Chains A and B, each alone.
Chain A
């Protein structure tokens, strides 16, 4: 079956202690299933990169997998703060967490430079802000074609990027729709790529709609089939964002003990995503289905023989 692997085997083989790991997805398609498996396998000293660390990195950092965080917006969207991360930053509890901070465009640019084999990415951000002081890797550069100065950010090349998507074939040719975030850039920038999908499809399905292919199998090391792997994030057309859980996490994560209890129960206490979803319950799962369908119109690529 090509590159198809279990989540356990994919993480064991491709994520190593000390790696720079990017589990991307901007609100959409965040692979919690991979993050939880990394916690279960007790990986250590990771550098975690993401624009928005979101609940997944709050959980992974609470579980002690990371020593450093590279990011651009540190919060629980629409709810508030990320308390496990704040404990590490504000109280150094239980240990300090190294931060490397950019803006959204800076992070997107870093992946883009990494994916394109460029030494930096130039952008018109950071002027007259304190961000270059907080992070000296954000540096002004002069245009070689005039007097203008812009800012540069360095390439980001994760050791491993995890991408969640609607579907892929067994070789890892991956299609997604909805908000694309910087999944493509983060994948092309990485040394190794794990693709996690809701559905494994035949190669013919991919070839019938080549414009929708975001990541080619060429750069993919493992394909994990893990329905509901993005919960409590969402998958356009398959299931909704579980906003209730995002709100619940605010209370759970405010205290180190309740956070640990949650991790013990919902991460260490299950063998994998299937058990997690069973534990979540049929009713909750059903409530997250879209309220209707909105299929795209089909396009005709034509036959040219």
Chain B
């Protein structure tokens, strides 16, 4: 935790939210804070491991005190006392509202429509928020074999909305994903809405993508639009780390930097060893 904190991509980060001497923060901390703020007003959140886990716990301590944490391993209403390395850590059970079988979790809680927000990560994402977490290359002869769906495809279909946290790069923000593990807005908003209606999905698809450079929402065509750029990041950096020309909000606000309070919670309570936030 004593290493110097570098802002996104090495640029200076003196957030507009900071007064006096600005607090430096890492790009991971900016991603966590941005995602946590997006959770304001949400009730039930399906949590993944790593950054989403910290973001959701930060939201619970700040903007969304009513947030119920659901882990796919079977904990509902979890109040983890330490940062779990895996989503099946014993700390998510002790003190939880309920520990249920995975059948109940996926049938009654997720497919039953009780999950407001599901978090997904991705190896590849396209402009419509379709996600690949299965293979790079051909399925039968993959260049890289990735973990696969886990619960991701059912989260994408059944959670009311989907949040994505991932770093931008030419390899991950691609024009065409190699395998569709989790459907986003398919080929655009219109066809996606029709498909969801016809196939009876409960989810309305991806709503937020938080990266190390900014925050994206999805516009009326179903395409990702950069709606906020993180302090210190530039539009050139954004464009250089994507496989397509991104839509950009005009005017484009700067994401308010993490506050001292948010940083204190992350560094002292949620990830004191800096496992995910250094």
Contacts and interface: CB of A to CB of B under 8 A. Distances in A.
Interface of A: 26-28, 51-52, 71-75, 77-79, 81, 85-86, 89-90, 101-105, 108, 112, 123-131, 133-134, 148-149, 177-182, 184-185, 234, 236, 240-241, 243, 246, 290, 294
27 contacts: A26-B73, A27-B86, A52-B150, A73-B147, A74-B147, A78-B87, A79-B85, A90-B143, A104-B151, A105-B110, A108-B103, A124-B157, A124-B201, A125-B158, A126-B153, A128-B180, A129-B181, A130-B134, A131-B153, A134-B139, A179-B74, A180-B99, A180-B102, A181-B101, A182-B103, A184-B101, A294-B95
Contact of A74 (B72, B87, B148): B148
A50 B149 CA distance: 14
Nearest to A103: B149
A240 B84 CA distance: 11
Interface of B: 49-50, 72-75, 84-90, 93-95, 99-103, 106-107, 110-111, 134, 139, 142-154, 157-158, 179-183, 186, 195, 199-202
A181 B103 CA distance: 8
A305 to B, nearest CB: 33
Contacts of A127: 157, 183, 195, 199, 201
Contacts of A86: 145
Given A90-B142, A90-B144, A104-B102, A148 B200 contact: yes
B151 A27 contact: no
Contacts of A234: 90
B111 A178 contact: no
Contact of B101 (A78, A177, A182): A182
Nearest to B140: A134
B85 A246 contact: yes
Nearest to A235: B90
A102 B151 CA distance: 10
Contact of A73 (B90, B111, B149): B149
A177 B139 contact: no
Contact of A26 (B85, B88, B147, B181): B88
Nearest to A146: B200
Contacts of B99: 177-180
A131 B181 contact: yes
Contact of B151 (A71, A101, A103): A103
B150 A129 contact: no
Contacts of B144: 90
A112 B107 CA distance: 11
Contacts of A85: 145
Given A74-B147, A127-B195, A27 B158 contact: no
Contacts of B151: 72-73, 103-105
B148 A101 contact: yes
A147 B5 CA distance: 56
A267 to B, nearest CB: 23
A101 B146 CA distance: 12
Nearest to A115: B103
Given A130-B139, A131-B149, A177-B99, A149 B89 contact: no
Given A78-B49, A125-B154, A241 B90 contact: yes
A158 B116 CA distance: 35
Given A104-B106, A131-B153, A241 B182 contact: no
Contact of A103 (B86, B90, B107, B154): B154
Contacts of A101: 134, 148-149
A87 to B, nearest CB: 10
B185 to A, nearest CB: 10
Name the residue among B88, B148, B149, B202 with the largest chain A CB count within 10 angstroms: B88
A280 B158 CA distance: 44
A134 B146 CA distance: 14
Nearest to A24: B102
